[in-house]
Structure 1
Amino acid sequence: MKIAVFGGTGRVGSSFIRMALDQGHTIQALVRDRDKADDLISKATHIIGDVTQEEDIRATINGCDLVFSSIGTDKTTTLSESMPLIRKVMEKQGITRLVTIGTAGILNSRYEEGKYRFQSSESKRTKTFAAEEHLKAYLELQSSALHWTIVCPTYLPDGEEVGGVRYEIDFLPKEGKKISTNDTARFAFEILDPPSFSKKRVGICY
């Protein structure tokens, strides 16, 4: 398969790319920093550009079968600006499968009905900007015809795969505290194709 990747030089994205390449897939990744891409994901095909520009997204997705995104927030609106464009290009090109990395904050609150976790007492974060950005991306995908899945990890330290990943649709599994970047990437890779959890948010943790 040929996979288009956005956010490929991030912690989860670069791990995902290495896994996909090891399995014989081809990666076409949109990157801003050529040197960083050469260092982290040298075996992927690099498209140098900006994920908020439709033409750069189009060049990245062109000829691909599936799309993976781990675009971060980094105190910017990059995620909420880019997701409508990714959706638009995918729909124009007839590509339907998208797996993206979200945050546990946009899962449903288990104890406060009608709220997202970041709006409830379940969240320990005082700042909500990142969760609000991820929520905008979720609402954008929710209104689309794409076969999307949002993988929603809780606290995400760097780390190797240790296995034992628990998951739950729309909620974070009870007592979930953390999950490593590599286990998050592995979960996303394994559900990409054949597609699992279509049009669902999936909370993951140990």
Structure 2
Amino acid sequence: MRISMFGGTGRVGSLMLKQLLENGHHVTALARNPEKVPQHPNLTVIQGDAKEAAAIASTILGSEVVVSALGTDKTTTLSDALPEIIQAMKDEDIKRIITIGTAGILQSRIDSNLLRYEAGDSNRKLTAAAEEHHAAYRALEASDLDWTIVCPTYLPDGEATGNYRTEDNLLPEDGKQISTEDTANFAAFELFACNHLRARVGIAY
């Protein structure tokens, strides 16, 4: 399948990119620094910034599905890029997108009318990253795309176990962490399985 990829040099995105290529897919990835992306015969790298509409459109051109593992890194890249990605997908008549979010934008178990970062389900006091992911979620929710947001909790580097729990729109009870490898594997599988359409998926051990 022809896949466009954003955030392919990040902790989860790089693992997803590697897996998708190993599975025989053709990937076009946008990267500010192409030298950070490993060379592969099925990989096309476009140099550019995810804030640039033209670079996004070039990356998505000819794709069938879209992956975004864009992070926040104390910038507005994520909230700036998602509306442009959505528009480019509409222009290309592409419906399927999977993104990597954060457990902070799942529904709170303290107050079901709020998200976890709003209600204080976690001990984190800084909410800038969650606010960026919330903006991306709102953009996807307002679209007519077949979206899924994979929402890991504490995300240490680690190998895949395949032994994790998922729950739509909530973090699994007492979920404390999930490895980058398990998160990437689940997201790569769900991209095609489409078991959680138009849902935020909490993932944890």
Residue 39 of structure 2 corresponds to which residue in structure 1? 42
Residue 182 of structure 2 corresponds to which residue in structure 1? 183
Partner SS state of residue 56, structure 1: helix
Aligned-residue CA RMSD (Å)? 0.8
C-alpha distance after superposition, 1:84-126 (max 9, x if no partner): 0000000111000000000000000012221110112311111
Residue 16 of structure 1 corresponds to which residue in structure 2? 16
What is the CA–CA distance in structure 1 between the aligned matches of 2:163 and 2:117, rounded to whole Å? Answer: 25
Residue 98 of structure 2 corresponds to which residue in structure 1? 99
Equivalent residue runs for 1:72-87 within 5 Å: 72-87=71-86
What is the CA–CA distance in structure 1 between the aligned matches of 2:154 and 2:193, rounded to whole Å? Answer: 27
Residue 203 of structure 2 corresponds to which residue in structure 1? 204
Residue 116 of structure 2 corresponds to which residue in structure 1? 117
What is the CA–CA distance in structure 1 between the aligned matches of 2:106 and 2:193, rounded to whole Å? Answer: 24
One-letter amino acid of the structure 2 residue matched with residue 10 of structure 1: G
Equivalent residue runs for 1:23-38 within 5 Å: 23-37=23-37
Residue 126 of structure 1 corresponds to which residue in structure 2? 125
Partner SS state of residue 11, structure 1: coil
C-alpha distance after superposition, 1:173-200 (max 9, x if no partner): 0010000111100000101113221110
The 10-residue stretch of structure 1 (117-126 or 81-90) with the greater mean CA deviation from structure 2: 117-126
Structure 1 length normalisation: TM-score?
Answer: 0.96
Residue 161 of structure 1 corresponds to which residue in structure 2? 160
Partner SS state of residue 137, structure 2: helix
Structure 2 length normalisation: TM-score?
Answer: 0.97
Partner SS state of residue 28, structure 2: strand
Partner SS state of residue 193, structure 1: helix
1:167 offset after TM fit, Å? 0.4
C-alpha distance after superposition, 1:14-61 (max 9, x if no partner): 100111111111111000012212xxx321211000111111011101
What is the CA–CA distance in structure 1 between the aligned matches of 2:89 and 2:195, rounded to whole Å? Answer: 19
Residue 193 of structure 2 corresponds to which residue in structure 1? 194
Equivalent residue runs for 1:131-146 within 5 Å: 131-146=130-145
Quick one: percent identity of the two aligned structures?
49
What is the CA–CA distance in structure 1 between the aligned matches of 2:162 and 2:32, rounded to whole Å? Answer: 32
Residue 88 of structure 1 corresponds to which residue in structure 2? 87
Partner SS state of residue 70, structure 2: coil
Q: Structure 2, unaligned stretches of length 5 or more?
A: none
What is the CA–CA distance in structure 1 between the aligned matches of 2:30 and 2:114, rounded to whole Å? Answer: 34
Partner SS state of residue 91, structure 2: helix
What is the CA–CA distance in structure 2 between the aligned matches of 1:141 and 1:26, rounded to whole Å? Answer: 24
